[in-house]
Chain A
Amino acid sequence: MIVKKIGETFEFVRNGSNIKQGIEGGIPITRIETIANGIIDLNRLGYAGIYDEEKYSQYYLQDGDILMSHINSEAHLGKVAIFENINTTLIHGMNLLCLRPNRSILFPKYALYCFKRSDFKRQIAKITKKAVNQASFSTSDLKKLTIPLPPLQKQKRIAAILDKADAIRKKRQESIRLLDEFLQSVFLEMFGQSKDYERNYSIESLDKVSNKITDGEHGTVKRETKGYLYLMARNITTDNKISLKELSFISEDDHKRIYKRCNPEHGDLLLVCVGATIGKVAIVPKMDEFSLARSVALIKPNKNIVNPKFLLHLFNTNYIQKQFNFSKNEVAQAGLYTGQIKKIKLPIPNINHQNNFAEIVEKTEYQKLCLEKSLSDIENCYNSLIQKAFRGELL
């Protein structure tokens, strides 16, 4: 396949206009963060009170222009977004490069995908100059980099295929998000608004409906390379899962000693009780025995009164999260003592009602698992398409 330099395939590659921002109103100006999400985000623009339509007209973005980050932290360098179907006048501001494709040989959307593939990222890495806090590359170096350049007709087809795959990927992500929203909606439908809890349900403190509430090991425990899992706040994710990244391990002796007092088992609730992420919760899945550090509290709900899955969702509501915010002490590091956790107030609906909810949760979670699997398949497919497309193997 023919390969050409960027300098030969674009009308120009240039930095934006240097305008001091800060005054409200007028024609919007692009900023570094405008393309942070890979699209031109019209909510993240700068303003300088410019109303004169002539003054910066040579910097107005045109359909098909590609913006590229060339001064940024290293990970974000080379990030791109395309100006397409946007009916807003937009001034190209400092600290992003604008690349205007030469349309007689280059299809803009094709160019965009070209910049998004990992091959191009590797090229960028070679021309990157690192400073203390940020990295950059020069326009002249960028112009010397190359992109594969099939005939225009072929470019359009490649862009169409990748567009389609990208659209599917986005829809799949959206449907996964919708499942979460679905559960929230069901919860609300079944148990009502939190402001009505006190009117509709009997309110109990957490220790009244639990068989055990305690927190993890307070002392320092020697870490081992293998052995028993030692779970900490960072292993509990915001979406109520246990993350098995950055794991710590402790010896069997230590584990046995800690486990005697604090024994997480399948179906128990884990609650982050120290640090910036206080209030995150997860349910212990079926897994091998493990121990907890001080930063995680263990709650063993009495399953005759509260269903753990109901409890998990309840913990995510404002009703409970506010109580956490409320009772935590901030000295050096925010902390929630077991005494305070025990006093957390909960609405207790009929257990059958809770169990019904838990059943829906299980079904939805299974759905989500399937969709996530499907998403990862779609992503693989998308990546493979990109790879094949630019190797000339597609079509």
Chain B
Amino acid sequence: MITGEIKNKVDRIWEVFWTGGVTNPLSVIEQITYLLFIRGLDEIEERRRKEAALLGIKHKPIFPEDRQELRWGVFKNLAADKMYQIVSNGVFPFIKALHADKDSAYSKYMSDAIFIIPTSQMLEKIVTGLSDLPLEDRDTKGDLYEYLLSKIAQSGTNGQFRTPRHIIKMMVDLMKPSPEDIICDPAAGSAGFLVAAGEYLRDNHPDLFLDKSLRDHFNNEMFCGFDMDRTMLRIGAMNMMLHGVENPNIEYRDSLSEVNTDASKYTLIMTNPPFKGSLDYEAVSADLLRVTKTKKTELLFLALFLRIMKTGGRCASIVPDGVLFGSSNAHVAIRKEIVEKHKLEAIISMPSGVFKPYAGVSTAIIIFTKTGAGGTDKVWFYDMKADGYSLDDKRNDIADNDIPDIVARFRDLKAEENRKRTEQSFFVMKDEIVSNGYDLSINKYKELEHEEVAYEKPQVILARLKEMEREIQQELDELEKLII
């Protein structure tokens, strides 16, 4: 968590952008991302130079001898005008041209960087502000970037990109990624799921960094994220790198299209794919349409998960409620596919306020394993009623929170066997789901608890009514006397 002084520093930088007229939160994040990248490059250079000197080998510099003024450490101390000239005319062209440099992992996302800070005074303030931020510690810089991203959420319109972090964390805690997993988010956005998965592994499998092959796997192959928005790609990549993943596979890809030829590649998918997203129907991959013939992105993504996972691969995805009960052929087809040919494990129904203030949609988390041979015998349902925040637009902290209970129960499903349908979680047998047309909405299976209503006996109420009539009569008489 970012608090106190650092938070104020970030807020001040944000304010400089704001007062300078750069108000689109995404643009702000993007500009900060470039500048953080530029600062990072300088730090890598410095580290390599030291390492080379220590080992007595020749150092191959990122910055040529005659272009040393492009280094953050150099230009940050210059006068505002001079700095502005160097950054806009020197540094930006330079980072765009880094594309070929295989050693600097994130250079590929910088190729179309555009510098939009309008004045030299503003740039100076921002550079000073960013220089002030402590970026040495991995935890701090990751949190710091997450804090910046949370500002996108606060500012509204673009927030749909951002899945609430506590929901992501819950999904990661449910799926418990292992050091061998190959994790994919085909609609990665700011890479929240991948970052959270990385953090989970650091916390729960610290040993993996002692093993060279696991460490390489972690840094190079484990995390794959795709998106169609280049700004989000850059942000996602930066988010991953600041969280200490050296070379994440964050790439531009229209996941649903023919171009995406991934199949049987990943062992774990965690994602929040776009609902009702716009779709280039012509380009949609034919093998997805074979599973579910539809224009609805939320259904196509489910079909995609099934294709791109290895057999045995596990998936946790947020889906809008409609996916669970929709009665069109496409809806039923994809549910049938998952229930009959794979292993559907759990449906966690979430309250509709989870995505507020952007959207009031009701959603659920669907968890299943790709088997290709069926295996669904019973499905665990959980009716989540609170996520620790009020379910109105304000989303204030509240005490009610089902998330710890959900995680604890999911990890010990044996104990769930005897839960009744009137309780918050329970199992439903596959046969029952099939006989209900593969309907997966929890309401279909939940049973009602009838509360006792208590009233006084009719005779008692009648007696009171009569008494009251007498009183009213008496008081009317008194009133009459008062007026005369």
Docked complex Cα distance between A185 and B322 (Å):
40
What 10 A-B pairs are tightest by C-beta distance, nearest first? Answer: A195-B450, A185-B455, A194-B450, A182-B461, A185-B458, A164-B479, A186-B458, A322-B448, A175-B468, A161-B482
Stretch at the interface among A67-75, A86-94, A166-174: A166-174
Is there contact, CB below 8 Å, between B469 and A330? no
Is there contact, CB below 8 Å, between B450 and A330? no
Return the contact of B448 from the options A172, A178, A323, A329 (Cβ within 8 A): A323
| Chain A hits for B448, CB < 8 A | 319, 322-323, 326
B392 at interface, CB cutoff 8 A: no
Please name 4 further chain A to chain B contacts, defined as beta carbons within 8 Å, in addition to the given A168-B475, A194-B453, sorted by A numbering: A171-B468, A174-B468, A178-B465, A385-B483
Tell me what chain A mostly uses at the interface: helix, strand, loop, or mixed: helix
| Chain A hits for B325, CB < 8 A | 329
Tell me what chain B mostly uses at the interface: helix, strand, loop, or mixed: helix
Given that A184-B455, A185-B456, A319-B450 are known contacts, is A179 also in contact with B465, CB under 8 Å in the complex? yes
Docked complex Cα distance between A348 and B116 (Å):
73
Docked complex Cα distance between A317 and B452 (Å):
11
| Chain B hits for A331, CB < 8 A | 321-322
Complex: chain B residue closest to A325, CB-CB: B443
Interface size class of A (residues with CB under 8 A): 35 or more
Q: Mark A322-341, 1 if CB is under 8 A from B, else 0.
A: 11001101110000000000
Given that A164-B475, A188-B455, A319-B450 are known contacts, is A175 also in contact with B469, CB under 8 Å in the complex? yes
Is there contact, CB below 8 Å, between B443 and A182? no
Docked complex Cα distance between A188 and B455 (Å):
8
A369 at interface, CB cutoff 8 A: no
Is there contact, CB below 8 Å, between A178 and B468? yes
Is there contact, CB below 8 Å, between B458 and A167? no
Shortest Cβ gap from A328 to chain B (Å)? 9
B464 at interface, CB cutoff 8 A: yes
A253 at interface, CB cutoff 8 A: no
Shortest Cβ gap from B466 to chain A (Å)? 10
A394 at interface, CB cutoff 8 A: yes
Cross-chain pairs A/B with CB under 8 angstroms, 18 sampled: A161-B482, A164-B482, A168-B479, A171-B468, A172-B472, A178-B464, A178-B468, A182-B461, A182-B462, A182-B465, A184-B455, A185-B456, A185-B461, A195-B450, A318-B453, A319-B448, A331-B322, A394-B483
B409 at interface, CB cutoff 8 A: no
| Chain B hits for A172, CB < 8 A | 472
Docked complex Cα distance between A182 and B464 (Å):
10
Which B residues lie at the A interface, using CB under 8 A? 321-322, 325, 352, 362, 443, 446, 448, 450-453, 455-458, 461-462, 464-465, 468-469, 471-472, 475-476, 478-479, 482-483
Is there contact, CB below 8 Å, between A165 and B479? yes
Given that A168-B475, A182-B458, A330-B352 are known contacts, is A193 also in contact with B465, CB under 8 Å in the complex? no
Docked complex Cα distance between A329 and B441 (Å):
10
| Chain A hits for B443, CB < 8 A | 326-327
Shortest Cβ gap from A335 to chain B (Å)? 12
| Chain A hits for B458, CB < 8 A | 182, 185-186, 189
Interface residues of A in 254-296 (CB under 8 A from B): none
Is there contact, CB below 8 Å, between B453 and A193? yes
| Chain A hits for B457, CB < 8 A | 185, 189
Complex: chain A residue closest to B473, CB-CB: A168
Shortest Cβ gap from B326 to chain A (Å)? 9
A160 at interface, CB cutoff 8 A: yes
| Chain B hits for A327, CB < 8 A | 443
Return the contact of B450 from the options A189, A318, A326 (Cβ within 8 A): A318
Complex: chain A residue closest to B471, CB-CB: A171
Q: Mark A228-259, 1 if CB is under 8 A from B, else 0.
A: 00000000000000000000000000000000
Complex: chain A residue closest to B352, CB-CB: A330
Return the contact of B483 from the options A161, A318, A329 (Cβ within 8 A): A161
A181 at interface, CB cutoff 8 A: yes
For B362, B452, B464, B483, the residue with the greatest tally of chain A CB atoms inside 10 Å of its CB is B483
Shortest Cβ gap from B45 to chain A (Å)? 51
| Chain B hits for A197, CB < 8 A | 450
Is there contact, CB below 8 Å, between B462 and A164? no
| Chain B hits for A188, CB < 8 A | 453, 455
Complex: chain B residue closest to A157, CB-CB: B482
Complex: chain B residue closest to A330, CB-CB: B362
| Chain B hits for A319, CB < 8 A | 448, 450
Docked complex Cα distance between A179 and B465 (Å):
8
Complex: chain B residue closest to A174, CB-CB: B468
Interface residues of A in 338-395 (CB under 8 A from B): 385, 394
| Chain B hits for A168, CB < 8 A | 472, 475-476, 479
Shortest Cβ gap from A36 to chain B (Å)? 20
Shortest Cβ gap from B358 to chain A (Å)? 14
Shortest Cβ gap from A60 to chain B (Å)? 32
| Chain A hits for B471, CB < 8 A | 171
| Chain A hits for B469, CB < 8 A | 175
Shortest Cβ gap from A173 to chain B (Å)? 11
| Chain B hits for A318, CB < 8 A | 450-451, 453
Shortest Cβ gap from B352 to chain A (Å)? 7
For B321, B362, B479, the residue with the greatest tally of chain A CB atoms inside 10 Å of its CB is B479
Shortest Cβ gap from B83 to chain A (Å)? 43
Docked complex Cα distance between A179 and B464 (Å):
10
Is there contact, CB below 8 Å, between A164 and B465? no
Docked complex Cα distance between A181 and B322 (Å):
40
| Chain A hits for B452, CB < 8 A | 193, 195
